[in-house]
Amino acid sequence: MVTLTERFHRAVWLFAGISGVSLVATRELHPMVSAVALGAFPLGWWLNRRPVLPLALRSGHSTRPVALPALPAWIKRWEQRLLILIVAGALADWIWIHGMFLLMLGHFLLAFQSLKVLSLKEHRDFFQMFILAALQLFSAATLAIDWWFLAGFLLALPTAARVLMLYQLSGHVGSQPEGAPLVISVHRSAAFTVGVVLTFGALVFLIFPRLTGMGLPIGLAPLTRRAGYTDHVVLPSGGRILDDPSIIMRVEITPPEARQFWNGYLRATTLDFFDGTSWSDTQSARQSMGRDLLGRFMVLAGQPPRTLFEQTIFLEPLDAPVLFAAPWVWWVRTDRPVLFVKPDLTISRTPTDHRRIRYHVGSYIFPPSERELRQAPWPSTTRPIAQYLQLPSEGIASVRTLAHQLTDRLPTPYEKVRVLEQYLRTNFRYTTDLGGRPGYPPLSARQPLEWFLFERKAGHCEYFASALCVMLRSLGVPSRVATGFVRGEWNPTGRYYLVRAHDAHAWVEAYFEGVGWVQVDPSPRVLAREPASRGAWKALQDLTDYLNLLWNRYILTYDLERQVSLARGIQFRSQVLSFRIEESVGSWLRRFRGMASGAQTRSIAVAWYGWTLGLVLIGVFSWWCVQLSHRLLGGRIRGSSDRSARAAVWFYEDLLRRLRRMGYQKRPSQTPHEFAAAVSEAIKTHTEVIRLLTAWYYQVRYGGVPLTPDQHATARDVVALIHVRD
């Protein structure tokens, strides 16, 4: 029969497995550490597959030791040395490798747990294994960003409650066989504990919101992902850009009909300086934005000149502190205490803020007409806009010549822009594979742009944007490279766009006098279209990602703003419910006004309220009677079961009665083992008898295993040996 100690060990293994898988499944830890942990766990289970470890009782006494499974000698010899290496590696990981405390903690816990499961020797090792598993679960909670963590947490919570209860019981019952009533009691107690914890935790979560803008300090934040977006552009001469499907953000459009007006671009920043091989941003000046009466950060002052549409963006952890939004942004609303804006309308957080963020953006649709663009004159080079005409001193001569050959006969800036845009779209091919090997020196003696325009004639968006921007500048049209993302997949279940790392994009913004900056995209890259029909597997993927969005919206980004919104919603719904009740009662009463006088109407109202109150009171009284009957019946059952239990352990009751006569009274705070140990110190002649009867008491009372006829006879004989000395 399975003992409580064995059940405790199995519960610890289950809890450790759930916690370890939850931590590995965050996909934030190093693959090698995760692989070692996943390999060590089944190996440790195999080495300790027979739960025959001795039990160290809380009283300090243990059952008779039994043989342990043979552990590898090198584990016993190197256990402490390996632990020192693990600690040193964790410190190196924190200081020199990743620099993230929570990431280091996850690596350390996995490595330490791997060592622990391979070197289990005593009962307390299992409790240490449980503590490490609990820390792993907490670490997974800080690193996980998907809804599936909730499933792991709901599995781990009842398992943890069961582990703690079995640990307490095993300290008293020891390795005696357990009975069905005790197992059922443990399961019920665990379920009750889980219910209380979940209820209390939900109330604390709703009442005490998290200040998401005042989160973890530097070095404690979760690992940031490296997305396709960068704040600079380097033109390689070879190699391939890998397809990265990592999720960067989810974008909701409000109102829904605004989707047809949105061009699908999510702008981050612009780059104005080109050195022949790379683009960078020379605008260092930025200023903090103020809030209006609605709590919005105002990017531009005054009333918007065009219709606004709103985006709700859930941005995942990112290396850069920029915020993405559809151009052109008018206001931003978020929980962050401060936001910054540059002259080119680049919006950013504090430099150290790379955490997950939910924010709302109001952008105005700015589609200038073709007539306005054709009438735009050549811009003045004396204005600050002249910085967007900068070109490197060498390496672009052939690019300049090509631009003039294509546009010299065209009089307006607009016509030149459109001709160059169409030239790149129709004569060049979009690809992320440039061939050869990445890096410099290039495969050709030419500079990267010349190599792209005159030899390769194929490249990715950065090449197209760079080529158009340099050609426009060589013609005197101010321009700059803009970077960000384009809209990704449409999720019909959640009605939002899912933007991944491979949706990163670069385009050009050209300046037209009297109009402003206008987007121009020379890349033949085609935006993703919404499919007419979706298969079952794709529908399941959409549903899974929608659950992730709900997890982000209502759990990960729950803050004071959402708490106030929730409270207002509850208040509004309660008012609506109260109004509907009043209306229904009033309409019911108005039916009788044509047939009854005012006094009769009032009497009907009084009768209606009386019946309602009476029904409520009857329901409350019925519930009280049911509860009282359960208590009384439960008390009788418990009383009868207690009497049966005392009858089954008559020998122990007789032992206690004889010891009381000898002056040894068992205190209520003492366990049977503790009392036996204390009495054995005083009565040397009856030590073995007292310990034997105590062990049989545990077997019958807690294990549910009755004594055999031979044990009954032995108990009767040995109890008689204890008597009061004259």
β-pairing verdict for 347-348 and 273-274: unpaired
Residue with tokens 């910054």: 340
* Tokens standing for residue 31: 């693959």
Under 8 Å between Cβ of 613 and 654: no
* One-letter identity of residue 340: F
User: What is the rounded CA–CA span in Å between residue 702 and residue 691?
Assistant: 16
Residue with tokens 């990431």: 103
Under 8 Å between Cβ of 316 and 26: no
User: What is the rounded CA–CA span in Å between residue 325 and residue 310?
Assistant: 10
User: What is the rounded CA–CA span in Å between residue 67 and residue 83?
Assistant: 26
User: What is the rounded CA–CA span in Å between residue 586 and residue 222?
Assistant: 58
Residues of the chain with pLDDT under 50: 50-70, 173-180, 209-227, 437-443, 595-597, 599-603, 606, 632-644, 725-726
Going by the DSSP 8-state scheme, the letter that residue 261 receives in this structure is: T
Q: What is the pLDDT of residues 118-165, one digit of tens each?
A: 877 677 788 889 999 989 988 888 777 666 777 888 888 888 888 887
User: What is the rounded CA–CA span in Å between residue 74 and residue 67?
Assistant: 19
Going by the DSSP 8-state scheme, the letter that residue 321 receives in this structure is: -
Under 8 Å between Cβ of 361 and 313: yes
Please give the span between the terminal C-alpha atoms of the chain, in angstroms, as a whole number: 44
Burial of 472 (C-beta count, 10 Å sphere; 0-12/13-18/19+): buried
Under 8 Å between Cβ of 55 and 10: no
User: What is the rounded CA–CA span in Å between residue 225 and residue 320?
Assistant: 10
* Tokens standing for residue 307: 């219709």
Under 8 Å between Cβ of 227 and 502: no
SS3 of 429, please?
strand
User: What is the rounded CA–CA span in Å between residue 701 and residue 719?
Assistant: 18
Max alpha carbon distance in the chain (Å)?
A: 131
Phi-psi region of 377 (alpha: psi -120 to 50; beta: other; left: phi over 0): beta
β-pairing verdict for 278-280 and 233-234: antiparallel
Residue 470: predicted pLDDT: 95
Residue 8: predicted pLDDT: 85
* Tokens standing for residue 347: 């919006």
User: What is the rounded CA–CA span in Å between residue 509 and residue 18?
Assistant: 51
* Tokens standing for residue 634: 């439960």
* Tokens standing for residue 497: 């766009």
Alpha carbons within 13 angstroms on the beta-carbon side of residue 89 total 14
User: What is the rounded CA–CA span in Å between residue 136 and residue 145?
Assistant: 15
Query: Residue 332 — φ and ψ, nearest 5°?
Result: -135, 135
CA angle centred on 713, ends 708 and 717, rounded to 5°: 145
Under 8 Å between Cβ of 344 and 311: no
User: What is the rounded CA–CA span in Å between residue 162 and residue 176?
Assistant: 18
Residue 27: predicted pLDDT: 77
Q: Pick the closest to residue 144 from 155, 136, 134 (CA basis).
A: 136
Which helix or strand (DSSP H or E) is residue 195 part of?
A: helix 180-207
Residue 207: predicted pLDDT: 55
CA angle centred on 69, ends 64 and 74, rounded to 5°: 125
Query: Residue 624 — φ and ψ, nearest 5°?
Result: -65, -40
Which helix or strand (DSSP H or E) is residue 16 part of?
A: helix 4-24
Which residues are 309's β-sheet partners? 363
Q: Pick the closest to residue 167 from 357, 381, 308, 8 (CA basis).
A: 8
Q: Length of the chain in residues, anyone?
A: 726
DSSP 208-223: S---GGG---TTTSPP
Q: What is the pLDDT of residues 68-96, one digit of tens each?
A: 444 555 555 677 788 888 889 888 888 88
CA angle centred on 624, ends 623 and 625, rounded to 5°: 90
Residue 431: predicted pLDDT: 86
Residue 605 CB contacts under 8 Å (≥ 6 apart), including other chains: 589
Alpha carbons within 13 angstroms on the beta-carbon side of residue 187 total 7
